[in-house]
Amino acid sequence: MKRSIACIALTLLPLFAAAQDRRSDDYVEYRQAAFTAMGWHFKKMGAMIQGRAPYDALEFKRRAEAVSALSQLPAEGFLPETQDTQLATRLKPEMWYQKERFDTYMQDLITATAELAAQAGAKDKDDLRSVYGSAARQCKNCHDRFRESD
Amino acid sequence: MKRSIACIALTLLPLFAAAQDRRSDDYVEYRQAAFTAMGWHFKKMGAMIQGRAPYDALEFKRRAEAVSALSQLPAEGFLPETQDTQLATRLKPEMWYQKERFDTYMQDLITATAELAAQAGAKDKDDLRSVYGSAARQCKNCHDRFRESD
């Protein structure tokens, strides 16, 4: 009896392992999706600020609000179990030893993008340059420390 | 002179084509990211509604608000030029001949998820079953008509 239970357990083991991996991959896929959508809107705002695209106050506001909402999403994707993911990720492994700092960066991003969304709508894009720059700096802080470069 | 300009043009052509493809891919990547993030939160709400996860009114509200914000994002990723994308996509090509209906589905999704976010926070999850179901139906309407099945 004991032996047959052990046999069943051994047979099922790869299934559990696969389920676990798949779960990790779901988390990674989710957090990368949130960053991809965030980057999309952030870059379009950057193009307006830098004059590579015509400035449209309403469009800028819509994108700033999207970024502010999106900034709250990725954090829950950083589960310690995702260290075993099979997906490509640029996250530096040392993040897991500095999770508190990482969480602070995430919170700073949320605050900075909320401020950007609050000020968005200004008639003159130059009034948004500094608040956009603050949000961009939050992205960069975290990328510099915790993301592998290209 | 004419010949050398033609030569330069021919040399640059693949670069332009690549840039165009890459642009299409960016749009597809973006809209898929928005759907991935939306699906993540939508499924977690579904698990609560169906009793597969403990119901937490605050968490449900946070996810409903995320879905409502996310529902407004993918539309801009459906640019006709993306028909030449190199990325895997489950979009049925006939959507491009029924774009008006597709846009209506998108608007219905935005309306239904805004209503879900407005009602979220209820003490009793059973009070959310119907409004969650309405939002789920909007997902399904569009998937049935415009998304290849797995």
Residue A150: the pLDDT is 74
Residue A22: the pLDDT is 72
**B73 contacts in chain A (CB < 8 Å):** 37, 66
pLDDT score of B16 more than 60: no
Q: Quick one: pLDDT band at residue B5, thresholds 50, 70, 90?
A: low
Task: List chain A pLDDT tens, one digit each, 150 residues.
Answer: 455 655 555 555 555 555 555 789 999 999 999 999 999 999 999 999 999 999 999 999 999 999 999 999 999 999 999 999 999 999 999 999 999 999 999 999 999 999 999 999 999 999 999 999 999 999 999 999 999 987
- In tens, the pLDDT along B100-144 reads 999 999 999 999 999 999 999 999 999 999 999 999 999 999 999
Task: Give the type of residue at B61.
Answer: K
Residue A21: the pLDDT is 59
Backbone angles phi, psi at A108, to 5 degrees: -65, -35
Q: Which of A36, A40, A66 sits opposite B69 (nearest CB)?
A: A66
| Distance separating alpha carbons of residues A34 and A117, to the nearest angstrom | 18
| Distance separating alpha carbons of residues A32 and A52, to the nearest angstrom | 26
- Shortest distance between the Cα of B37 and any Cα of chain A, in A, equals 6
- CA-closest candidate to residue A62, choices A44, A75, A49: A44
CA atoms lying within 13 Å on the CB side of residue B1: 0
| Distance separating alpha carbons of residues A39 and A140, to the nearest angstrom | 12
| Distance separating alpha carbons of residues A39 and A16, to the nearest angstrom | 35
Q: Which residues of B34-62 are buried (b: 16+ CB within 10 A; e: fewer)?
A: bbbbbbbbbebbbebbeeeeebeeebbbb
| Distance separating alpha carbons of residues A25 and B92, to the nearest angstrom | 26
Give the other-Cβ count within 10 Å of B76's Cβ. Answer: 16
Q: Is the ipTM of this complex over 0.90?
A: no
| Distance separating alpha carbons of residues B57 and A85, to the nearest angstrom | 30
- Shortest distance between the Cα of A53 and any Cα of chain B, in A, equals 16
pLDDT score of B6 more than 70: no
- B142 annotated as ligand-binding: yes
**A72 contacts in chain B (CB < 8 Å):** 66
Cross-strand pairs, B147: B91
- B7 annotated as ligand-binding: no
Residue A75: the pLDDT is 97
- Residue B51: left if φ>0, alpha if ψ -120 to 50, beta else—which one? left
- In tens, the pLDDT along B56-99 reads 999 999 999 999 999 999 999 999 999 999 999 999 999 999 99
The residue-averaged pLDDT of B8-33 equals 73
Domains, chain B, ordered by start: 24-146 (1.20.120.10)
Residue B65's Cβ-count burial label (10 Å; 0-12, 13-18, 19+) is buried
Give the other-Cβ count within 10 Å of A66's Cβ. Answer: 24
Backbone angles phi, psi at A28, to 5 degrees: -65, -45
Q: Is the distance from CB of B61 to CB of B117 less than 8 angstroms?
A: yes
Paired tokens of A83: 């260290």
Residue A18: the pLDDT is 55
**A40 contacts in chain B (CB < 8 Å):** 26, 30, 33
pTM for the structure as a whole: 0.87
- Shortest distance between the Cα of B31 and any Cα of chain A, in A, equals 8
Residue A83: the pLDDT is 94
The residue-averaged pLDDT of B44-50 equals 97
* Contacts of A137-144 spanning 24+ positions with Cβ under 8 A: A137/A112, A138/A105, A138/A108, A138/A109, A138/A112, A138/A113, A139/A42, A139/A109, A141/A105, A141/A108, A142/A102, A142/A105, A142/A106, A142/A109
